[in-house]
């Protein structure tokens, strides 16, 4: 990454795994970051609830950022399924609040969405031209935000991520869970071989956003790491990379984890970065290469 003209970036949801990485990436090139979160975990972060539009207005007026990045979201799919109104209030209404404030202050918006807006029945990677059809409360709320933002302001990026990995101690997703099981002495791991996705490394995703800002080529983009695999494939690759030949990875079917993961989930959550490729932006490397780098940090 090369240093560019200094910008001021306002980030919501900055204490999560992606926000932590974005902060590191953008401060490393000298950008000013205003970091906010509903429950801040860092001393430089301010408290902000995006469900409170007035609070957003006050902070944007006071800080006058060049861009607003909306990362704030409820991403626990089971929690969202049990609390659909809360999911909507944050993932849809909260995102709309941020977009409306950005419109009022003429500030470009970067919003983060998800492959979870699709139903997984296509059987091949989803492009930006496929119609979303979410199957759970989380996906439905994120889709509402995707639909609303382009109606509110023109100067916006929406970037869809796949299965997130990154953020080290902030990582609550699959790769971290597998690594924690290994650290806790597990010698047999169980992972689904009937659910497919594209792992998305938070550092690659953050650097992809960095590269796209200057283009002003606004719109909706899929931005997962290239390639795809099953959950079983990810777990097997982790064990292979770490050289733990004594650990066995057992393939299981979706019903194996039904008690803990009861929310409906698409069986095929794979993105094709078609618009990026069509415009000549080849900015996301293969997921396996990214995984090797990430595991060195854990």
Query: What stretches of the chain show up as alpha helix (H) in DSSP?
Result: 17-27, 53-63, 77-82, 84-88, 95-104, 137-152, 174-183, 202-213, 231-242, 274-278, 287-295
Closest CA to 195 of 166, 151, 162: 162
Which architecture characterizes domain 8-171+199-226+270-285 according to CATH? 3-Layer(aba) Sandwich (3.40)
- Domain extents in the chain: 8-171+199-226+270-285
- What 8-state DSSP symbol labels residue 271? B
Consecutive 10-residue runs of the chain (298 residues): their mean pLDDT?
76 97 96 98 97 98 98 97 98 98 98 98 97 98 98 98 96 96 97 97 98 96 98 98 96 93 96 98 97 95
The rounded distance, in Å, linking the Cα atoms of 152 and 225 is 29
Three-class secondary structure of residue 170 per DSSP: helix
Confidence (pLDDT) at 292: 98
Chain position carrying tokens 């933002």? 149
What phi and psi, each to the nearest 5 degrees, are found at residue 15? -90, 0
Confidence (pLDDT) at 2: 55
Confidence (pLDDT) at 76: 96
């Amino acid at each position: 990454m090369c240093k560019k003209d200094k910008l001021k970036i306002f980030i919501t949801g900055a204490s999560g795994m992606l926000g932590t990485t974005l902060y590191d990436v953008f401060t490393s090139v000298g950008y000013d970051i205003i970091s906010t979160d509903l429950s801040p975990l860092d001393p430089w972060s301010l408290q902000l609830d995006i469900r409170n539009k007035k609070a957003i207005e006050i902070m944007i007026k006071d800080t006058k950022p060049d861009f607003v990045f909306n990362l704030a979201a409820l991403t626990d799919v089971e929690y969202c399924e049990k609390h659909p109104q809360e999911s909507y209030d944050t993932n849809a209404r909260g995102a709309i609040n941020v977009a409306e404030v950005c419109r009022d202050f003429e500030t470009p918006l970067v919003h983060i969405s998800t492959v979870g807006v699709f139903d997984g029945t296509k059987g091949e990677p989803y492009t930006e031209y496929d119609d979303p059809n979410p199957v759970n409360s989380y996906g439905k709320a994120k889709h509402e935000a995707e639909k609303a933002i382009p109606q509110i302001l023109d100067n916006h990026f929406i970037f869809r991520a796949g299965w997130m990995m990154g953020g080290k101690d902030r990582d609550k997703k699959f790769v971290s869970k597998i690594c924690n099981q290994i650290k806790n002495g597990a010698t047999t791991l169980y992972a689904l071989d009937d659910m497919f996705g594209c792992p998305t490394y938070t550092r690659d995703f953050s650097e992809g956003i960095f590269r796209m800002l200057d283009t002003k080529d606004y719109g909706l983009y899929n931005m997962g790491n290239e390639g795809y695999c099953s959950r079983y494939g990810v777990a097997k690759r982790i064990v292979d990379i770490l050289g733990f030949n004594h650990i066995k990875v057992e393939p299981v079917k979706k019903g194996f984890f039904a008690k803990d993961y009861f929310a409906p989930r698409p069986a095929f959550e794979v993105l094709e970065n078609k618009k990026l490729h069509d415009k000549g932006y080849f900015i996301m490397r293969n997921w396996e290469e990214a995984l090797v780098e990430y595991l060195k940090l854990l």
